[in-house]
Amino acid sequence: MTFENLGLIEPILKALEAEGYKYPTPIQEQSIPILLKGKDLLGCAQTGTGKTAAFAIPILQHLYKNKTSDKGRRKIKALVVTPTRELAIQIGESFTTYGKFTGIKNTVIFGGVKQLTQTQALQRGVDVLVATPGRLLDLIDQGYISLRDVEYSVLDEADHMLDMGFIHDIKKIIAKLPSKRQSLFFSATMPTEIIALSSKILGNPEKVTINPEQTTAEKVEQAVYFVSKGNKPKLLTHLLQTEVFGSVLVFSRTKHGADRIVKLLGKANIKAAAIHGNKSQASRQRALENFKNGEVSILIATDIAARGIDVEELSYVINYDLPNISETYIHRIGRTGRASLSGVALSFCDGEERPYLKDIQKLIGKEVPVITDQPYEDDGTFIPSKKNSRSQQRPQSRSGRPERSGGGRSSSGRNAGSSRNKSSASGRSARGHRSTGSTSQSKPRRSFSKKSN
């Protein structure tokens, strides 16, 4: 299957070619024909599958074909609502990229920053608006936005909208949309509340499901290190100094933990930046930019802050803390192994986190090999204490709004002499590790080689 076979118009084909996209991903192959026919779509897919292009391309094609010679300001014809600023920016960039030969204009609005540049862009007129829910409602209330002319609406990452407490905002937004429109609804998971919400939004939708197991979990090489909580900083330092090169995204469960990791690495002369909700939006953006352009090769992120991170050729994901929600693990490792690339995901698992590992393995349907050839191996002895018990913990995002504020101060390079670009140019291979079954998990010696293909 090629993009031509999908019936795409020349200006879009040209943009895809310029981007180096050769073949549609499964979600694109399945969704684009449905959307070009004008049908509603319920997509069960996560970021990393090529989902953005799956909805942006048909919307651009419709808008291009229905372009009128109307004089006056452009009206918002397509609305994409997404939970985080990072995702919103990413989606806006995708519309710009895929639509660069179509003349279709987009803008992105999100909270946590002054509204002036956003309202100015809106006043100049756009065809596609990408928005986070709070700022969208705010600017509607202030009279800067009218949804009257919307013909295409996309609700992206619906399950995260729910996690972040956006459900009421979403309902308010939906109520303001014209009833005659094409609706698209994407969610990585489909809990009952999400199914109920989708049925309010969609008419008689076609469904497309892209299994996470088929995508990231199968493509990404994974391994786990058993290590005590106290030894995690040492193990991370050791790996970054010896065998993990290239761009590395380290996940921390908490914002505080992310800052602590940056400091600990700093003591070992390893430069890293943190991105999480206690940072200002500007510094979050700066850290992300520096990570994308290679000035900083190690980024420490919380789950929410990482939602919009789309770094081509991300070499490694390291789960410094294992998530207690298994789906989060899939989201995290999906940061690497994007579209046509392979990746490596390494997880640190302390005694308390072993039940999480079990849940993850159940979800991905396979055992994650254990690396035993490492200096800080933990025998897994764990005496639970009330203080340490995480059984009550909820995922970080359930508390309310998405994290406001952002970006770590950037710093660059691994420790002196080791540069991200050097290692990425050389093919970035992590050295061999011995993995054995110190628990029920038994695997022979393994080596990770991160290839981009």
Which residues lie near ligand AMP (CB under 6 A)?
A: 21, 23-25, 28, 47-53, 310, 312, 338-340
- Specify the residue, 21 or 356, whose C-beta has the smaller distance to ligand AMP: 21
Task: Closer to ligand AMP by CB, 10 or 19: give it.
Answer: 19
State how far the Cα of 124 lies from the Cα of 128, in Å rounded to an integer. 13
Neighbour-count burial of 4, counting CB atoms closer than 10 A to its CB (0-12 exposed, 13-18 middle, 19+ buried): exposed
Find the shortest distance in angstroms from Cβ 312 to ligand AMP.
Answer: 6
> For residue 304, which of 127, 164, 419, 133 has the smallest C-alpha distance?
164
Query: Rounded to whole angstroms, how far apart are CA atoms 11 and 100?
Result: 8
Query: Which residues have CB under 8 Å from 175's CB, separation 6+?
Result: none
In whole angstroms, how close is the CB of 173 to ligand AMP at the nearest point?
Answer: 22
Residue 215 or residue 228: which is nearer to ligand AMP going by CB?
A: 215
Bin 365: left if φ > 0, else alpha if -120 < ψ < 50, else beta.
Answer: left
Q: Closest separation between CB of residue 90 and ligand AMP, Å?
A: 7
Q: Which is nearer to ligand AMP, 145 or 158 (CB)?
A: 158
- Would strands 429-433 and 446-449 be described as parallel, antiparallel, or unpaired? antiparallel
CB of residue 54 to ligand AMP, shortest distance in Å: 7
What is the smallest separation between the CB atom of 369 and ligand AMP, expressed in angstroms? Answer: 26
CA–CA separation, 28 vs 400, rounded Å?
32
- Spatial contact of 300 and 275, defined as CB atoms under 8 Å apart: yes
| Burial class for 168, CB neighbours closer than 10 Å (0-12, 13-18, 19+) | exposed
Residue 53 tokens, joined: 């292009």
Long-range contacts formed by 445-448: CB under 8 A, 24+ apart:
445/373, 446/223, 446/369, 446/371, 448/221, 448/223, 448/344
CA distance 363 to 330: 9
